[in-house]
Each structure stands twice: as structure tokens, then as C-alpha cells.
Amino acid sequence: MKSQATPKHLSTNQIHLLLHHLAEQPATRPQSHRNYCIAVLFLDAGLRLNELRRLICSDIMFFDVPVCQLQVRAEIAKRGYARTVPLTDRARNAIRDYAASQPLLFEHADQYAFCSPSSYIRPLSARAVQQIIHKAAKRSIGIDIHPHVLRHTYATRLMRVTDLRTVQELLGHRNVASTQIYTHPSIADKIGAVDKLT
């Protein structure tokens, strides 16, 4: 039986470089805060591409305050499997800055949070989101990546700090077998394990 390939993920340094690049974009560009927020939600909430695209403003902001826990609604989740994802301070700050940069958009709770530049009633296209991540990664860390790599990175980081069942819930996997692909140990994990024996 052919073994499954280990998911590609970013290192801590690569994450820093990617986010630093996005954060350093001129704040006068309307999409700067949006692009940074998109990357952070992939990295710190493990959203799938289509889940992110279909978020509405009330999913991430409640009475002008970023939510503490993101409710991935059944209607946007893969296979209708809803889940709750606690948000990091970094994610909440990214949402706050993005909402502040788009006050007209966030006046309407039921609008797409990441909408098409040409229309509030359409979500940003999958291709547009892919291009945001692709260009930022190419310029900051010199590699081609798909947004799903950022979800893999979230899962890999979680596996180093918590148990498999918790990671399964946070990723929205119905079957734990889907989550087990993230259990690959790093060299540091192996060294740490051996060090604990002495």
C-alpha cells in the first residue's frame, strides 16, 4: 500500500516572513488589511478556502468587536460539519484592523466579509484568494503555495501542543483518520522525546 505524503507546511520563520510582508504593505491600499487578515485566518483558525470566502461580517465581528470564537456555520463548512474555533489575539487584531479599514462593508452584518471588489453581494473568488497567498509567499519566502498549505501549517502547529481529538474538532474532520496525517514528528520532536528519557 502506498504511504500518504506528509502535508507541506511552513516553518515558524516562514510564517513570520509571510505575515511581515503582508503587514508591511501600504495601509493606503484598501486590500492590505484584507490580505493580511485572510492569511492570519488560514494560519490561526485553520479555515478551508471556501469557508473563508463564505464568511459574513457577523461571523467575525459582533457589535463592532472581533469575535473571540469563530463559528464555522454548517452551511459554509465542508459536508455541513459546523465547528467552533477560538481565535488568537493575532487573528482578532487582524479582524479589527480589517473592519476598521472597511467601515461601509461592516455596516451590513450579512455581507460577505471578503467580497468581490466589484460587488458586495459576491464573495471574493477562490482564484483571487489563491493569488493573494501565492504572490505574498513568492515575494516573502520564495516558494509557490496554495492557501491549503496554511491550513496544514495550523494543523501541524496544533499537533505539537495538543491531542489528536482536539485537532480533529478544530479542523472540522468527521473522521480522525483525516487528522492523523498531521501526526508526523519533526527532528525537534524526536530529540525532545529522547531527551525526556534521560
In tens digits, the chain (198 residues) has pLDDT values of: 444 444 588 999 999 999 999 999 876 676 899 999 999 999 999 999 999 999 999 999 998 999 999 999 999 988 888 999 999 999 999 999 999 999 988 998 999 999 988 777 899 999 999 999 999 999 999 998 999 999 999 888 888 877 777 777 777 767 665 666 666 666 666 777 677 776
Distance, CA of 137 to CA of 145 (rounded, Å): 7
9 residue type, one letter: H
86 residue type, one letter: P
Q: Choose, from 78, 138, 160, 165, the residue flagged as catalytic.
A: 78
pLDDT of residue 180: 64
pLDDT in tens, 139-193: 999 998 999 999 999 888 888 877 777 777 777 767 665 666 666 666 666 777 6
CATH topology of domain 12-191: hpI Integrase; Chain A (1.10.443)
Instruction: Report the interhelical angle of 31-45 vs 126-140 (nearest 10°).
Output: 90
Count CB-CB contacts under 10 A for residue 81: 13
Output the furthest CA–CA distance in the chain (Å, rounded): 62
Q: Clarify whether 151 is annotated catalytic.
A: yes
Q: Choose, from 9, 48, 53, 157, the residue flagged as catalytic.
A: 48
Q: Clarify whether 2 is annotated catalytic.
A: no
* Nearest residue to 67 (alpha-carbon basis) of 38, 91, 102: 91
146 residue type, one letter: H
Distance, CA of 22 to CA of 142 (rounded, Å): 14
Q: Choose, from 36, 98, 154, 182, the residue flagged as catalytic.
A: 182
Under 8 Å between Cβ of 97 and 35: no
β-pairing, 83-86 vs 69-72, is antiparallel
* Nearest residue to 45 (alpha-carbon basis) of 113, 125, 108: 113
Q: Clarify whether 78 is annotated catalytic.
A: yes
> Residue 25 carries which DSSP code?
S
Q: Clarify whether 184 is annotated catalytic.
A: no
- Location of C-alpha cell 479589527: 96
Under 8 Å between Cβ of 127 and 133: no
* Nearest residue to 166 (alpha-carbon basis) of 92, 60, 84: 84
Q: Choose, from 151, 152, 154, 157, the residue flagged as catalytic.
A: 151
pLDDT of residue 76: 92
Q: Clarify whether 173 is annotated catalytic.
A: yes
Under 8 Å between Cβ of 99 and 62: no
Q: Clarify whether 182 is annotated catalytic.
A: yes
pTM for the complete prediction? 0.85
Distance, CA of 127 to CA of 116 (rounded, Å): 11
